[in-house]
A and B are shown apart, each in its own frame.
Chain A
């Protein structure tokens, strides 16, 4: 008997057919569609009119550097670019090494870089060269990543070293002539927001994993410490923790050991985030089947080998959506450090409004701050989805 391969029916249709089918299929659908279009027009017209004619967007252009780096010395801004270039290189390297899993973020970075280059060219800002260099570095390292032996290990190590590297470059050191110290009260704007986010998230993740494991430990001391820590921190608002670390922490430390305000804020964010990520990770640990422990033990793996090689990789993969959720939350929560006197994006925005030549530009300034957060989170969400697809979260 001959086997006849039957093709599935073609269900996709063109955009015009889609519009006719979904928007103009009946007389009342036509009515509803027209009504919706009119409503949108009526609502958006004033906003568009304002944006195109009345708004003084010059306030953004004039204060762009302030938005990006705060009071960071203008003579030292090359150091911020250096961290951007290295980041571009790392993203390119990861793309080459991990392919699919990193492709989402690499494409975002590439298109963002291209967009910034174009915008800079359009407004005749001279930073377009820097963005172009970043793009080139990303692509060069992509090709390096494709052929790098032991790529995964190298890329992992490079990311690991990147975080102390940012700090060294941004903060500087009195022992390195090329990098004179920049006191942390001058860090600000997007730079500060991103530094706080990165430290808060990536510092908290290992701590969160340890707390999650501790909460399931058989040793009562470790278990009760973990439970106590998590429940204490989760039980209070972030802002109180920030006040605690900003105001109370210095009282417990001798004068010469008191960390700067930025470092205190980082400690506060990190401690807060660790408790939440511990609970995320615990969710993953509980979802790993008991048979996995048994199979690992039956093969002779000891407790820590079982945890590190078998249980954690599965648990963490399961909670990627929850982890990204926390990342995004914390990114937005960094705006609270404005209340303890740090100049992150929101506080910068408010300080710009105090400039006499830009009085009354609230809408422009806050819309821009709004856009920065939104665009970053959009990128994070897209990258997250691509990571999940590549790792087959929820499928394997």
Chain B
């Protein structure tokens, strides 16, 4: 699916380190993501996978190494950071919708204030996105009036409204009731098929099998193993990968 633009490197990480106080969370992560690639990061909790994905839009700062997103290096220059954040959408485990705004206001807020999109245009785009995630009828409700699955779909629409070049998903289905996971995954799969570059931290192996180009196994702050879903599921090389997969697939 990435033949047309498969040669363009959109995220480059070189030897990224991060510490929380004295705890070494990321121990030299090097990773390159091609435009249009769908990457699934998985691993035990505390392995640093969420911290890593949050470094990609600088919600966390890395202390050593280099992260280059869409040609711009992430550093202390706040202008660069804001520029990158406009190009990188993020979906959180806890949805983090703005509770004081309606669904449509949640979606149009950033385009209006950051991109200065005219009101009618951003409203129209928001309605298109709500149709795409399947809940146009909820536009004027407040987030608290929606189910978890609906809230997460609004969060995806909100991120897409900035027309980002990359989407980051940080355990998007972990806080959902089981019957709502599918509705969110369906939206993500549809998004992946449109050629969006996606980096997702998730344990939804069905999603990985369906659309991932590459799976990356994190453990103890390092990339232990990576490969296509086929390689990872059928022929994992590392013992830790094998153990972890056996734990999450056989329960």
Contact = CB atoms under 8 A, between A and B. Distances in A.
Nearest to B93: A291
Interface stretch (B20-28, B83-91, B186-194, B243-251): B83-91
Interface of A: 289, 291-292, 294-302, 305, 309-310, 313-314, 317, 395-396
A302 B100 CA distance: 19
Chain A: interface secondary structure?
Answer: helix
A298 B85 contact: yes
A376 to B, nearest CB: 30
B89 A298 contact: yes
Interface in B44-61: 57, 59
Contacts of B59: 294, 297-298
A313 B99 CA distance: 10
Interface of B: 57, 59, 78, 82-83, 85-86, 88-90, 92, 94, 96-100, 109-110, 113-114, 142, 144, 155, 158-159, 162
Given A313-B100, A314-B99, A317-B100, A299 B109 contact: yes
10 contacts: A294-B92, A295-B92, A296-B98, A298-B57, A298-B85, A299-B158, A300-B86, A314-B98, A317-B100, A396-B142
A395 B100 CA distance: 11
B41 to A, nearest CB: 17
A296 B59 CA distance: 11
Given A297-B85, A300-B85, A396 B92 contact: no
B97 A299 contact: no
B125 to A, nearest CB: 14
B182 to A, nearest CB: 24
Contacts of A296: 98
Given A297-B85, A300-B114, A396 B99 contact: yes
Contacts of B82: 300, 302
Contacts of B114: 299-301, 305
B51 to A, nearest CB: 13
Given A291-B94, A294-B59, A396-B144, A300 B110 contact: yes
Most central of A292, A295, A296, A305 by chain B CB within 10 Å: A295
A297 B98 CA distance: 12
B85 A295 contact: no
Most central of A298, A313, A314, A317 by chain B CB within 10 Å: A298
Sorted from nearest, which 8 A-B pairs have the closest CB atoms? A295-B96, A300-B86, A299-B110, A291-B96, A298-B90, A300-B85, A300-B114, A396-B144
Contact of B162 (A294, A299, A310, A317): A299
A45 B158 CA distance: 67
Contacts of B89: 298-299
Contacts of B155: 295
A297 B78 CA distance: 11
Given A291-B94, A309-B109, A314 B100 contact: yes
